[in-house]
Structure 1
């Protein structure tokens, strides 16, 4: 049965992670990790059903040129190495990593259509790159979706923080006159909106598929249901 799992983490060097390493693992691919001048090879890994690397409609010329005529994994390799090279800090945050359960009730083709719909409306529309893979593990179909934390600019990447713009089109200022900034990739509230957007699209596609039930992504507490939530077990835990 379809489950309401939608989680996020940050790919950060501070926690020992690499976005190129994460991408190679997710895409079951062989990639050059240029920062450490070594090759990452996950071509023996199983479970990859589908993969896409998609740019927003207004993506600048340099990034389109960067990935032109490359395979999906080749485009992913080139782009995330570019991110790794740009971020200099030892504790740099490199990408947002979403893990989203897919409904068993929909076919693979229907789930791909669902993900594309969600990505178009809630990722690309915000100017973010979408790198996603569909892992068809038995009883646990899901996607991993990595998105950018910085805007794409004409010559590279912009700031992670941008000025808050008021209704008058001008930057909002504090009482002391300083410009108020927010994270370009979004706050906790923005993440909750993103999560709600997934469940809205999920339920829409369940209805299109003739499935007569809906998924509520709210917690039991918010639904006023007197139950303790269970812990989502990944494929590794299930194997144990």
Structure 2
């Protein structure tokens, strides 16, 4: 099921400022946008921004709005896609890009209407659709030309490829056990055992002196106390 159109936005005729239902304004803008895209597809390599096409459609029809383009551009794209599908034309919405030169989700509707799986890379798919538009509407296509990304996306792709080329591949590591070779070490010089000094003969410990049990003075060699 297609998304619903915005109905709470205002539009009016530029000549007399009379209000116009927004759905009616979208129908007329879609006719003008389709005509502008057919003209654009006749020039190889052409594309147009959402804002530029929206302004041109309003000027060609004479119906204006102050509503931001982002709120209603998808509804306009759906109408253009339905016209292309009914006429057996390639999807002209592939020529419509956002400020960053991507086709956005509006192009996904064109792919779905054609009963094709929505690709992950919409911009690469849209490049082929733009090329089909150039061929279908009589653009002078250079010999050997083919589908191309928009300039900003092509520049980004080349920058990414150049960056990847500068990255050095990692060295392959064998699954076997890595053993580091050791350099031969010079034999260590052996030190002659130092002569240990001989211990002097231990002196006999002196015997404790015998004390007099009465006055606690040292007794003479014969065991007699000289004070008692």
Same fold (TM over 0.5): no
Specify which structure has the bigger relative contact order, considering alpha-carbon pairs within 8 angstroms and separated by 6 or more residues: 1
Work out which of the two has the higher radius of gyration on C-alpha atoms and give 1 or 2: 2
Structure number with higher helix proportion: 2
Structure number with higher strand proportion: 1
* TM-score normalized with structure 2 length: 0.21
